[in-house]
Chains A and B, each alone.
Chain A
Amino acid sequence: ELKVEQNPLFLSMQEGKNYTIYCNYSTTSDRLYWYRQDPGKSLESLFVLLSNGAVKQEGRLMASLDTKARLSTLHITAAVHDLSATYFCAVAYLNDYKLSFGAGTTVTVRA
């Protein structure tokens, strides 16, 4: 069974500071996704990472993937209030369609 662990589960951020969310997974995967979920809303795809060393950036968010360490990070630069949300990583086995999700990291950005 593919296990996905995120930490921290809760993250209180101060505006303007930098933070990192970690996602570890248990077995070989070829696809890793980061999603954002606002309260009462569905999952919004942020990044798809497909290969070792992949790095993607969008605005204040940057995601990277180390398949050897089975680790992905989501780095937030200079946090702002509108980044408050729950962030999920999700991983698929090689050639599988099922996504296994982490428990999510609830981010709150305070002034």
Chain B
Amino acid sequence: GAGVSQTPSNKVTEKGKYVELRCDPISGHTALYWYRQSLGQGPEFLIYFQGTGAADDSGLPNDRFFAVRPEGSVSTLKIQRTERGDSAVYLCASSRATNTEAFFGQGTRLTVV
């Protein structure tokens, strides 16, 4: 497809479980971002990739969160030992280059019960 694709669109998991959220960026976009949007709030930055490397992971809330982008395209956000406070919509965005306009996917709504 032409846009950023995220799967799954919804994920319900039990507290303490491990989850993976996937992001397929727009083809040719080298920059990839993850944001988290809690209910009633604006998105908050989590991590930024330029190519395969995580150039800035300063927004990850703690060491239960990790993200990879091994081939410079698809990225996976991984959350260990999920907590109820992790419930949010996780948005992925990509841009052609750093500092150019980012385009967002539809998000993954994560619910931890």
Residue numbers of A with Cβ under 8 A of B are: 4, 31, 33, 35, 41-43, 45, 48, 88, 90, 92, 95-104
Contact = CB atoms under 8 A, between A and B. Distances in A.
A103 B42 contact: yes
Interface stretch (B13-21, B64-72, B78-86, B97-105): B97-105
A97 B54 CA distance: 13
A97 B33 contact: yes
Contacts of A92: 99
B31 interface: yes
Contacts of B42: 4, 88, 90, 101-104
A10 to B, nearest CB: 10
A49 to B, nearest CB: 12
Query: Interface size for chain B: under 10, 10 to 19, 20 to 34, or 35 or more residues?
Result: 20 to 34
A101 B40 contact: no
Interface of B: 31, 33, 35, 40-45, 48, 56, 59, 91, 95, 98-99, 101-107
A101 B31 contact: no
B31 A103 contact: no
- Sorted nearest first, the 10 A-B pairs with minimum C-beta distance are A101-B42, A42-B106, A43-B104, A42-B104, A98-B45, A97-B98, A101-B43, A103-B42, A88-B42, A104-B42
Nearest to B91: A42
Contact of B48 (A41, A42, A97, A100): A97
Nearest to B4: A42
B99 A95 contact: yes
Nearest to A33: B101
